[in-house]
Amino acid sequence: MHLDVVDLNTFYYRTKLGRIAQRALRERIVQMWPNTKGQTVAGFGFAGPMLRPFLADSRRVLNLMPGQQGVMPWPNGLSNHSVMVEETLWPLSTGVVDRLIVLHGLETCERQSDLLNEIWRVLGPGGNALFVVPNRTGLWARRDKTPFGFGRPYSLGQLESQLRKHKFVPLRHLSALFSPPSHHAWVVRSADWFERYGGKASFVLPAGAVMIEVTKQVHAPKRGGLTEVVRKPLEALGGVAKPVSGRDVF
């Protein structure tokens, strides 16, 4: 079940905890993709808060929002980049996307296999996708007062296994949201410390979000026919009879 776009917008832009989550996730993403000049960058689900750093240099930025969730203009104060889509049927050409961020899109989708097939279709050869999902062992997945408390949470192994089944090749993984999902003042003040410390000691502080980057690799097709070795090649004059001398005719 998808969350409502109004609730997502309120969390990320109007609550202190949402701004903490936005900053923590966005910093990780920018570290992974520091340069998208000339590329088409897209987001699916509620990825707008993560896409803003790519507006300056990217060739095109698309914010794809599933109809089950609802759509709203984005970004605020600039030309609209948002498009409402059917979650498993996007109005994009095959292979047009270079970078894709999926946030609050996979874990709430009831047709996850079809969604992953559609993501595979729109990614170009060598294109990368970044999936951000709730960590099933983290504190954020246990509180339904944040968007990470809805849908199906994942462990890293579960997510990687599902992506491999759909022909994606995992490249690397990160974790984020180490601060407790609390609005208490001391948690808000210490959020940056939790992120720095958690990244070094994730075995002590379980992350609230699992992030895994995958790529689409398309192998060159094997050609048959003329490229195969001909066991008995026909010579240019192979079918012409050898000439005989006059004395051999009679």
**34-83 residue pLDDT tens:** 999 999 999 999 999 999 999 999 999 999 999 999 999 999 989 999 99
The pLDDT of 160-181, averaged and rounded, is 94
CB 84 within 8 A of CB 71: yes
| Residue 222 pLDDT > 70 | no
Q: What is the overall mean pLDDT for the chain?
A: 87
Q: Which residue has the tokens 């990244």?
A: 199
Structural domains of the chain in order of their starting residue, each with its CATH number: 5-244 (3.40.50.150)
Angle between helices 191-200 and 16-32 (to 10 degrees): 40
Instruction: Say what the pTM is.
Output: 0.85
The CA–CA distances, whole Å, from 39 to 34, 59, 61, 81 equal 12, 5, 9, 15
**102-155 residue pLDDT tens:** 999 999 999 999 999 999 999 999 999 999 999 999 999 998 889 999 999 999
Amino acid at residue number 162: Q
| Residue 250 pLDDT > 50 | no
192: which residues sit within 8 A by CB, 6+ positions away? none
| Residue 223 pLDDT > 80 | no
